[in-house]
Structure 1
Amino acid sequence: MAGLAHITQIYFLGIGGIGMSALARYFKHAGYQVSGYDRTETKLTRQLQSEGIDIHYDDRPDWLASHLQLHKSLVVYTPAVLADLGERVFIENQGVPMKKRSEVLGMICFEKRCCAVAGTHGKTSVSTMLAHILHTSSLGCTAFLGGISKNYQTNLLLDEASDWVVAEADEFDRSFLRLFPNLAVITSMDADHLDIYGTQQAIVDSFNAFAGQVQSGGSVVVKKGLQVIKDPAKSISYYTYSLNERADFYAENIELVDEAYQFDLIHPKGRIEGMRLNYPGLMNVENAIAASSLALLAGVDSEELLVALAAYQGVKRRFDIQYRSEQFVLIDDYAHHPAELKATIASVRDMFAGRKVTGIFQPHLYSRTRDFAEGFAQELDQLDEIILLDIYPAREKPIAGVNSELIFNQIKNKNKQLITKQDLPGVAEKLQAGVVLMMGAGDIDTLVEPVKLKLMEIEHV
């Protein structure tokens, strides 16, 4: 790759992140010596180790001194890694080249024809759908995904023969401004990451800057209603998409048949009848329209699109049905923003009409809880029963006065509980039949299996 002519070793600070791990896999496949640090061992880091990537979980500058050829190394880091981490300080003092994950991804994508998927929510589902469509078509693609594709059991797709690459354009830390795509879609521009942006308008401005980075001759597809301003200085085509409201790309005749959605896709050149999405959730029909729009603009034909979409199996932790019986349905979902909770709960109501819905929610980040406590409470009130967990801090230190009670106290539904993670298996023993929806971007996924076992025990009593 250009810019890495003398590099033989690549070291990742925060290698266990979903975006970082995809890059690690990419460079391992390309023949580089890849290793990394992460503070926590996970299923994903164990998979990377099984693929021949050396990972350790304690802060060890001495390891770097003895294992890295510093003049032949590149260090890739994520903003989540603290500035005072011993290894990071050592690397900076040694003058080893360091690049953010987003910068390295931008370097890779610049060498190919890039499809970028941006939005404060929906990125992973749309990019994974799009990658699957392109990968199975005559175009092919390489793809860097923000989740584990259930079709391929990985977050990295490789196709050295294809000119196309699919990338998630992450707005966190303005990372997406490192991308200059040929095609882009923007799914949403809700207020989020206010610790970085400060205001909703700053978020909108940043997304507009991203849209303006699409290369001349390229296209931008925007969810209808978003405030994206056309750049008159560049020859960029602008399109809109919607679930079922008239737009350049939208669906007609949406039907839920045997828990699969069927619809016709309207697009600028005509209609594709009989689209079928076997992955649940009405929100995923909208995601499929977004993905299909970029696929068609890239040159995928209608028959390839029909076949690919019908074979799409989804993303782990995105409306991921983990258990199903006559009494219970257990769903694991990554929703961690009020808009995502709203879409996920609405999809559950549409698919399982008339059934009791119990939501288990783990707030993610102190700052997000502070900024959106009222919105979280409002959306959680759409549930029949609410079980609220403590905040998952992720990269943040505690903020005085910010805890899950900020949300809990604003929930109007009296059928609510505020508990710790340790209490959840015991609470699950008393759940009533219906849909159990577990939501959050922290480590709530580690509790899915214990809850599943409790539901199975209830059924066999």
Structure 2
Amino acid sequence: MDLNQIHNVYFVGIGGIGMSALARYFKFIGKNVAGYDRTPTHLTDELKAEGIAIHFEDKVELIGLPFLNKQNTLVVVTPAVPKDHMQWKYFVTNDFVVKKRAEVLGIITKDTFCFAVAGTHGKTTTSSILGHILYESGLDVTAFLGGIVENYNSNLIGSGKTVTVVEADEFDRSFLHLHPNIACITSMDADHLDIYGDTASIEATFREFADKVEDKNHMFVTNGLPLEGVTVGVNEGQFSATNIHIEDGWYVFDVVTPHETITGLRFALPGHHNLTNAVLALAMARTYGVASEDIRKALESFKGVKRRFSYQIKKTGLVYIDDYAHHPTEINAVYQAVTELYPNEKVLAVFQPHLFSRTRDFADGFAKSLSAFENIVLLDIYPARELPMEGITSKWLLEKMENPNKKLVSKSDLLAFLKRTDATVIVTIGAGDIGEMVPDIKKVLDEKY
């Protein structure tokens, strides 16, 4: 497919974090862009403000005249769209060019030098750090990201045509559409078992992705993963963060590499998982040839990604942190960071489970990771693309948890509950629409203190 022949790009599911990055990219390079999504969000509001037409009813007549010309229109769909979606069915029935987001990313990046970041956790933060390093060092780069980077208030960094950074998403085996020159794999835990069935299938697919990088000196893996490549870690691996200490909330550390030691690096994101993400980004950038001093400056100026240990309130007597964690391993990482930073504070975690299937498949892991928090509140499961499953509820998950300070609260009662809490550190966790509640939660907590 020749993108130069495409004048119109229509997105079915434009409000998704990966879809919206592509929409911004096509708008930026001069294409006519519009789309549908199920519900308005802060992100769809931003896209509309940038001049992209969006509607929220699944009606063919709302598609818009320019996008009905199949000769020069590309339709991009998200895997979350149901098969009975009327607009999607219209495009397929009438032989439009319809591509998944990952296929389009593969087409865009095929003729570029492509950095791909894979893994069940850490993709967004690692690719955002890497995109920031490459952009700040003056490279002709575009980074397509799965989160809103605080430095840019966008999920798209840069407008380069020769170097790209992409999140290599394992969902639906999407990352096999990519053509990476340098890649990393952050983690390989079981997830998306509704797609893969078992852990062995997930690992086999990650190996298939890793095989796309022929030069194993350009394949970076978190130390301990059963994959061939250059190892990266904290106090371990061929690229290793060492001499780590905290100064005024910053990590200060050195990185030992196969060829040098880079000393006195400063990085603001808490948690050892984020240190690993930073070293992965450093290793890829340094291997590409970015100067150590440029990497140093970029790491220090990186402000983080929204909903990734994102500080909403940070003042004496009250801290409010929001995080996208939706897997037991990610929740453990949030717990590690919170307890390292606030060992003597009363902590309350609010978790919204994401997907019935994920809650079912990892129930024991969720119960264990959530029970570690001193006080825990569960919201109802966010269904996303799924229908309810019999017996799989937040009440069922709550009963598996061993923490005595546990409570089930409805979304509608959450703000009133938070008005009454005496916790000094509040953490909201989950990949569902809890993210849309963050401004209201912040307002309620701010008024308290």
TM-score bucket of the superposed structures, by smaller chain? over 0.9
Question: What are the within-5 Å matches in structure 2 for residues 271-286 of structure 1?
Answer: 271-286=261-276
Q: 1:345 matched to which residue of 2?
A: 335
- The 1:401/1:106 distance shift into structure 2, 3 A limit, reads same
Q: 1:227 matched to which residue of 2?
A: 226
Q: CA deviation digits over 1:106-159, x for unaligned, max 9? A: 111111001000000100000000000010014342100000111111111223
Q: Is the 8 A contact 2:216 2:230 kept in 1?
A: no
User: 1 CA distance for matches of 2:34 and 2:231?
Assistant: 42
Q: CA deviation digits over 1:344-374, x for unaligned, max 9? A: 1101111112212110000000000000111
Larger deviation, residues 5-14 vs 178-187: 5-14
Q: 2:234 matched to which residue of 1?
A: 243
Q: Percent identity?
A: 47
Q: 1:429 matched to which residue of 2?
A: 419
1:257 aligns with 2:219: no
User: Shift of residue 215 of structure 1?
Assistant: 4.4
What SS does structure 2 have at the residue aligned with 1:52? Answer: coil
Q: Tell me how large the CA RMSD over aligned residues is.
A: 1.4
Unaligned residue ranges in structure 1 (runs of 5+): 231-237
1:154 aligns with 2:145: no
User: 1 CA distance for matches of 2:305 and 2:121?
Assistant: 14
Q: Is the 8 A contact 1:139 1:300 kept in 2?
A: no
User: Shift of residue 433 of structure 1?
Assistant: 3.4
Q: 2:54 matched to which residue of 1?
A: 55
Q: 1:234 matched to which residue of 2?
A: none
User: 1 CA distance for matches of 2:442 and 2:31?
Assistant: 41
What SS does structure 2 have at the residue aligned with 1:106? Answer: helix
Question: What are the within-5 Å matches in structure 2 for residues 406-421 of structure 1?
Answer: 406-421=396-411
What SS does structure 2 have at the residue aligned with 1:294? Answer: helix
Q: Give the total of aligned pairs.
A: 448
What SS does structure 1 have at the residue aligned with 2:440? Answer: helix
Q: CA deviation digits over 1:235-254, x for unaligned, max 9? A: xxx20011122x11111110
Q: 1:120 matched to which residue of 2?
A: 120
Q: CA deviation digits over 1:54-103, x for unaligned, max 9? A: 11110111233744222221101010111110111111111111010000
Q: CA deviation digits over 1:232-281, x for unaligned, max 9? A: xxxxxx20011122x11111110010000000011111100000002333
- 2:352 is aligned, of 362, 367, 377, to 362
User: Shift of residue 311 of structure 1?
Assistant: 0.5
Q: 1:145 matched to which residue of 2?
A: 145
User: 2 CA distance for matches of 1:80 and 1:40?
Assistant: 14
User: Shift of residue 199 of structure 1?
Assistant: 0.3
Q: Is the 8 A contact 2:41 2:436 kept in 1?
A: no
What SS does structure 1 have at the residue aligned with 2:234? Answer: coil
What SS does structure 1 have at the residue aligned with 2:388? Answer: coil
Using structure 2 for the length normalisation, give the TM-score: 0.97
Code of the aligned partner of 2:316? E
Q: 1:194 matched to which residue of 2?
A: 193
User: 2 CA distance for matches of 1:243 and 1:179?
Assistant: 29
Q: 1:25 matched to which residue of 2?
A: 24
User: 2 CA distance for matches of 1:29 and 1:400?
Assistant: 45
Code of the aligned partner of 1:43? H
1:379 aligns with 2:366: no
Q: Is the 8 A contact 1:254 1:264 kept in 2?
A: yes
User: Shift of residue 301 of structure 1?
Assistant: 1.0
Q: 2:45 matched to which residue of 1?
A: 46
What SS does structure 2 have at the residue aligned with 1:255? Answer: strand
User: Shift of residue 411 of structure 1?
Assistant: 0.8
User: Shift of residue 322 of structure 1?
Assistant: 0.3
Q: CA deviation digits over 1:369-424, x for unaligned, max 9? A: 00011111100111110001000011111111111123201111111101110110
Using structure 1 for the length normalisation, give the TM-score: 0.95
Runs of 4+ in structure 1 deviating by more than 6 angstroms, as ranges, are: none
Larger deviation, residues 49-58 vs 280-289: 280-289
Q: Is the 8 A contact 1:181 1:215 kept in 2?
A: no
Q: 1:397 matched to which residue of 2?
A: 387
What SS does structure 1 have at the residue aligned with 2:38? Answer: coil
User: 2 CA distance for matches of 1:383 and 1:292?
Assistant: 32
